[in-house]
Structure formats: C-alpha cells, structure tokens
Amino acid sequence: MAAMAFSADVYVSPTGNDAAAGTSADAPLATIAKARDKADELKASGPVTVYLMGGTFYLKEPVVFSPTNSGTAAAPIAYKNFPGQKPVISGGIKVASAWTTSSNSIMKTTLPTGLKVDQLFLNGKRQVLARYPNFNESQNLQGSASDALTKAGAAANPVEGPGYVRSLHSSMWGGESYIITAKSGSSVTPTWVGDNNRGEGMHTSYRMVENIYELLDVAGEWFYRKSTGELFFWPPSGTGDLGTQTIELASLTEVLRFVGTSPTAAVKYIKFEGITLTHTYRSLFDGTGKFYEGITKSDWAMVRKGTVFMQNAENITIDHCFFDQIGGNGVFMSGYNRYNVVSNCDFEEAGASCVALFGLKSAYRCYNTWSGSGGCTDKTNPGPAGNEYPSSCRIDNNMMNHLGRFEKQTSGFTCAGTEFDTIRHNTIHNIPRAGINFCDGCWGGHVVEFNWVYDCVKESGDHGPFNAWGRDRIEIFQDVASSKLDARNTTIIRNNRFEAPAGMFGIDLDDQATNYYQINNLCMGGGYKLQWNRFNTYLNGILLRGANVQFHGVWSSSSHYGARNIIFGAQNYTCLLQLLSGNTPASTKAAIAQWDSNVVYSSGGSPTVTTWSQNANCGSSVADWNAWKSAGLDQRSSNADPMFTDTQKVWRPDYLPRGDFNPKTGSPALSLGFKPFPMDSFGVMGAVGPDVDVVKPPIGAKRYEHRFGGNACIVNYSTNRLTVAYNGAYRLIVTSASGRTVAAFDGIGRADFQLDAKRIGGGMYFAVVSTKNGLISRRFMVND
C-alpha cells in the first residue's frame, strides 16, 4: 500500500493527442506506443498504470515491448481499461468510404489497392469470405464438397484473390490448406502452406475454396479485389444503410509483441488487463510456399505468430482480456519465456489455437522429425540443450470457445519443448481437434488440473480432449533407458472433466507419450489410451458413457500401473477393454507393471475384450472377462454396479457441469480403495473477459463500481493471508469453490486476516466482501 503512493498514471484514448501530457484523463495520449514511452519516463519512481480509455485503437503496426520498456518486480507496468470503459485494440482497418450498388444485392466501395485484408466485420460480427460451398456451421470446414477445386477452376481468375483451398487431412488428422497459384484451362494449381506435419494429403471429400469473386453468391459474403481496391459485400438482410454501420477489415497478424533481445536481456513485468483484442489476420495464409514449421515428430505444424506474441519474456501477464474473433493464435510464447501468465481471458471464435507455447529447435538435444533424427546418438544427457524454451508459465481460468475456425490442427492449449507449466481451471469447447495438446514430451513437469473440455474432435478423428505424443528420443531409441531422457519430469493430469465423442479417446497418450501421472479424472465418452509408451500411471479415474481402456500395442517393460478406476459401460455396452489388433491379454500382462483393483461393470452383461474400432463402440471379440482375469489382469477387480451418487445432480445455477459420479456408501469401488474427488470445480470458476464487475449491489443500494486493484476496494491474497482495504466497515466471508464457508471476519479500513491453514487446503476459494454499497468477490488459488 505504501508503494502505491509513489505510483504514476498515464492515460491514452483513441481521441487523444500524442502531444498532450498524458498524465490525466482530461489530456490523454492518442497511441499505445506513445503511452509506452511515457511509462518509461515515469517508471523510475515506482509502478506505472497506463489506462486505456474507451474506443478502438486501430494499429498500423504491432505495439512492440522491448527490454527497455520493462517494469520490475517492485514496480511493474500495467496497461488496463479505464474504469467503466471498454478499450479495443484492433489489427484492422475501418471502412469509411461510401457504398454503391454493384449488382443485385451486392454493394461496393473503393479502398486503396494492395491491402492485406482477409476478414470483414459488420458491427463487430465476422462475415464470410466468398466461398464454395456456402457456410454451414454443422458441417466440417463449415461447409465442404468434393468438387471444390472444380468450382475454383470454373472462375475467370481464381489466382486474383488469391483463392484459397482449405481441406482436412486425408486421414482426418487436422487440416491441409493451399493457396491457388496458377490456372490452366479449367484446372487450378493449389500450393500447400505446410500446415500438417504428417505431410501433404488433401481429403477427397472434405474441402472448400474461398476468396474468389464468382463465389460471392449469398448474403453475408464479401470479396476484396487487390488490383482495383474494390470491396464487394452482400450485407445480411436487415442491415440497412452500410454508410451508418461499422465495417472493419482484419489486417495485422499480431497486435502486441513482447520481445527481448536474448534470454539474458528479456522484457519483464508488464501486464495487460481488461482489454479487447480483435481484427487480426489469418496466420494460415500469412506467407508463401510451405512456410509452416513442423513440430518435432508430432502431427503438428505451426506458424510462430499470435495476436499477442512473446519471446525472451518474463513475468508478462495477460489478464481479463477478450480475444474476439481473432484470425490466428491468441497468445504465442516462442523460445525463452518464464513465469508468464494468461488468466481470466475469454477466447471466442479464434482462427487457430488460443494459447501456444513452443520452444526453439536450439533447446533440443535431438530434434526428431518425420524425415529422420539427424543421426542423433545422444543417449546420455537428459533434458534440454539450452534455455530457449517456455517454462513455469500459467494458463488459468480461461474460457476458450469455438476455436480452430480456420486452422484445424489446433487446441485451446498446445505446446512443444516446454517445462513445468500449469494449465488449470480452463473451459475449452467447440473445437475441431483436441482441447489440450502436447506435441512431445520435452521436458515434462506440467500440472494439468480442474479443466473442463467438451464438444471436441468435431472435425477430425483418432483423438481426444487431451492428447499427447512423445516422439522425441524415446521414439528414436525406444529402449527403457532412453524413455525419460526428454520426458524427465512427471506430468500430472488430475481432477479434470474430459468429454469425447463415442469411439474417440479421453486422455489420449499416443505414440511414446511417457511419464504421465493421471489421477481423479472424469472421462466421459472416451477413456484411457496406452500406446507404445512407458511409465504412465492411471489411478482413481471414472470412465463412463462409452469410455473404455484401450491397450494399443503396449511396449514391453512399459511399467504402466493402473488401479482403483471405475469403468462403467452404458446399457448393452460391454467392450470396456480394447486391444490393438495382434495383442492378447497375455501379451498385455507381460508388458505392464499392474492393472488391478478396478470396478469394471456394464448393465448389459459381463465385460468383454475386443479389438479397437474408431467409429464404433466395439471391434471383434478377443477374450471374455474370465480369460482377461486368467491372464493376471484385474484379478482383484469387481464386476459390480459402482453405485454413483447422483448422475443428474445440479451443483448450483452458475455451474454447468452436472452429475456427482462419485460412488456412494456401499459401493464396491470404495472397498477397493477408490477415493471420491471434487465434481464441482471443473473449468472456469470466476469471471472472464474485460468486465471485472463480479457481483452487483442489491436492488435499491447505491451502485458500487468495483474493479480489482482499483481505489475503492482492494482485496489481495498472499500465503494464507487476505488483505482488505476499504473506506468503511465490511464483512469478509471466505468460501470454497463448492460453497462451503471456511472463514468469516469483520473489518474496518485496511486490515489483514490470517486464514487457518488446517481449514484451507489446495484449491480454489472466494473472498466475498459485503459493504453498505453492495458485494464484491475475488477468486484466489491456494496451492498444495
């Protein structure tokens, strides 16, 4: 509190003036870049807060933060929304020219020629780039047809746009995208951008074309002709006069860049809070030729770009921000990054992934690829070769919805070549592939907990809400001694709710994904997958609604351990255990350490063991339950109803996941050692996005505008101590995420309240402060 007396404020507004002082709301600066420079002038005296006032900041180039713009631990620099106002940082261009009728319902205006634009927004809503087939939300690629290339070839000049081809991979492993570079007769030449690490292979049916003038044939579609500057748009019915509407075009791929010059000269201690970021260009076509980078030997290829980009950065925080219909990745951490945080953000309709962490090749001792390992012989040195990789970053309490709108090899969170990160309390849904993805095992040590992933694998196959590969040195050498050279730290997956389509996987530990400790996970529709990997533990999980355990080519000496799981089949669904073709119960038992003390039950009859079938519940029969047990598996397990507490339970009105699937008293699972775990703390647990008003005052009370860190009331948590500062009397109540009251205090003015460590375990809590002006609430996390 004493340090706040020496803080300085800077104000910036889209209607401001860069010649102004910028130190009062009455004389704001005009650009964020100028406000950044002003903060540098003031930061020697203490913390600096740059207030972004309401309106849209249209950028002509990204705002870059270098080491010279850094704050310090004692004096950080915060960029945040001015109280009660909504600032928007836009990578777009506002269309202000007059519109005329071009033909029928298509309107036209003229802009400068040669603009780089590929998204159009009408009153804040993304419109459809002229395409074939027409947009259909319920289909793959939002509309696909096998004759898409033929349709492109029938156009007069499909290269003009240029035209784009987006398809799914031939095996449904993500997307394959192309730029049309030539036409000969009625045929077009699509040039691949390299957006799939499994090689080029366009799906024969799932494909579409866009950005060709002749395809503009329905309301909501648009096309920009670079050579003439003509912008064509068929506005949706009821739009009215376009001259009175807000029309914007996405242009910049990135809007904020935090880039140090090296790991020892990093940009540090900068926070962005309460800001909307939007109108960014699709990174999918922001290059020529095969410009995507293959990521180790995973399925993924990646462009190192994001709406917010970080490299050689430390303690950068993106908090309570709204990533609105961005064209590519949301936050991209490339190379050296330490202690960065993405928290309480809302990602809606992102073109690619929401948060991506990817180390540089220089950090790997052996960079394994589909074309070979480069003759790697290092079987001695564990861990990374250098420090150019992300580590100890936190992705917490974010909403990630309808991502992967353009790129299909995408996830809410994805990473490769990173270590000791925490992915916690995120809600991730409506996605084409996995919700959380690890491209390799380098270098483990992550904690993935309390996430809720559902409506996933909607435009792909052979996947699940959580996916991991380990195609690093374990895949190169394949022996036991090499298994933890890169996956040297155990990754913990706990207390998550993962929902998958029938026939997919829940926790998909794919090829060589090694050294994972899984406990207390609720898997619905897709269960566990064990495939050519080692040292994985499967404990105390609940698998139901089509979920099963799939032993896919289990490696010898795998040391896998599984126990105290509940594996529950739906009615008439008995194949709860599946083997990859050629495997037997005996070969599975010989490969793993133990699989026992589980409840394996189906109301449709005795459990069976079958081969795997991706698109159906059961493959062909391999063995019955007795033969499975005779091989030494599940010998102490129970084939009995686990007796769930209440599968339809509604926890509270503001919490969507329903059902208490813990076993109740008398369940055979409890006698086998199963331990109930929380069912009411999956996913987002607090407010996300720029609006940080959490609880409104009671009806009739004076309106109280509370903003975290504001002047009216401060609520802060540190090491079992809550600090409240308020000008008046108040009541402080501390509750758990499930609503249990754990502490209550009365206070006045500024006061510190010590929490009883015996009553506060690891998890999410809420501090609710009741004042004469209303209620406020602040979420805080207590670590184990």
3-state helix, strand and coil shares in percent for the chain, rounded to the nearest 5: 10, 40, 55
DSSP 416-448: ESEES-EEES-EEES-SS-SEEESS-SEE--EE
Encode pLDDT of 687-711 as tens digits: 899 964 333 322 222 222 333 334 3
DSSP run (H or E) holding 107: strand 106-110
Encode pLDDT of 318-345 as tens digits: 999 999 999 999 999 999 999 999 999 9
Q: How many whole angstroms separate alpha carbon 269 and alpha carbon 258? A: 11
The answer to whether 90 touches 32, Cβ cutoff 8 Å, is no
What was the pLDDT predicted at 420?
A: 98
What was the pLDDT predicted at 708?
A: 31
Q: Which residues pair with 631 in a beta bridge?
A: none
CA-CA distances (angstroms) from residue 723 to 3, 66, 692, 774? Answer: 15, 33, 19, 18
Weakly modelled stretches of the chain, pLDDT under 70: 1-6, 571, 614-617, 691-713, 737-740, 772-775, 783-784
Q: What is the pTM of this model?
A: 0.89
Task: Give the full edge-to-edge strand order of the sheet including 106-110.
Answer: 100-103, 106-110, 230-233, 221-225, 128-129
Closest to 487 (Cα-Cα) out of 667, 365, 388: 365
133: preceding bond cis by omega (within 30 degrees): yes
Which token pair is 109?
């205006």
- The values of phi and psi at residue 267, to 5°, are -85, 135
Residue ranges per structural domain of the chain: 3-86, 93-250, 281-514, 528-686, 713-782
Q: How many whole angstroms separate alpha carbon 235 and alpha carbon 121? A: 11
Query: How many beta carbons lie within 10 A of that of residue 630, not counting itself?
Result: 14
DSSP 589-609: HHHSSEEES-EEEETTSS-EE
Q: How many whole angstroms separate alpha carbon 742 and alpha carbon 504? A: 40
Burial of 426 (0-12, 13-18, 19+ CB in 10 A): buried
DSSP 656-678: ----EEEE-TT-HHHHTT-----
- The values of phi and psi at residue 290, to 5°, are -90, 85
Q: Architecture of 713-782 per CATH?
A: Sandwich (2.60)
What was the pLDDT predicted at 584?
A: 93
Encode pLDDT of 605-659 as tens digits: 899 999 987 665 688 899 999 999 999 999 999 999 999 999 999 998 888 999 9
The answer to whether 297 touches 370, Cβ cutoff 8 Å, is yes
Burial of 156 (0-12, 13-18, 19+ CB in 10 A): exposed
- Name residue, tokens 């950068």: 316
> What percent of the chain has a predicted confidence (pLDDT) above 70?
94
What was the pLDDT predicted at 709?
A: 35
What was the pLDDT predicted at 398?
A: 97
Q: Where are the beta strands (DSSP E) in 137-220?
A: 164-169, 175-184, 187-192, 202-210
Closest to 578 (Cα-Cα) out of 564, 590, 588: 588
Q: How many whole angstroms separate alpha carbon 687 and alpha carbon 667? A: 37
CA-CA distances (angstroms) from residue 206 to 143, 144, 149, 459? Answer: 8, 5, 11, 10
User: Residue 266: helix, strand or coil by DSSP?
Assistant: coil
653: preceding bond cis by omega (within 30 degrees): no
What was the pLDDT predicted at 695?
A: 32
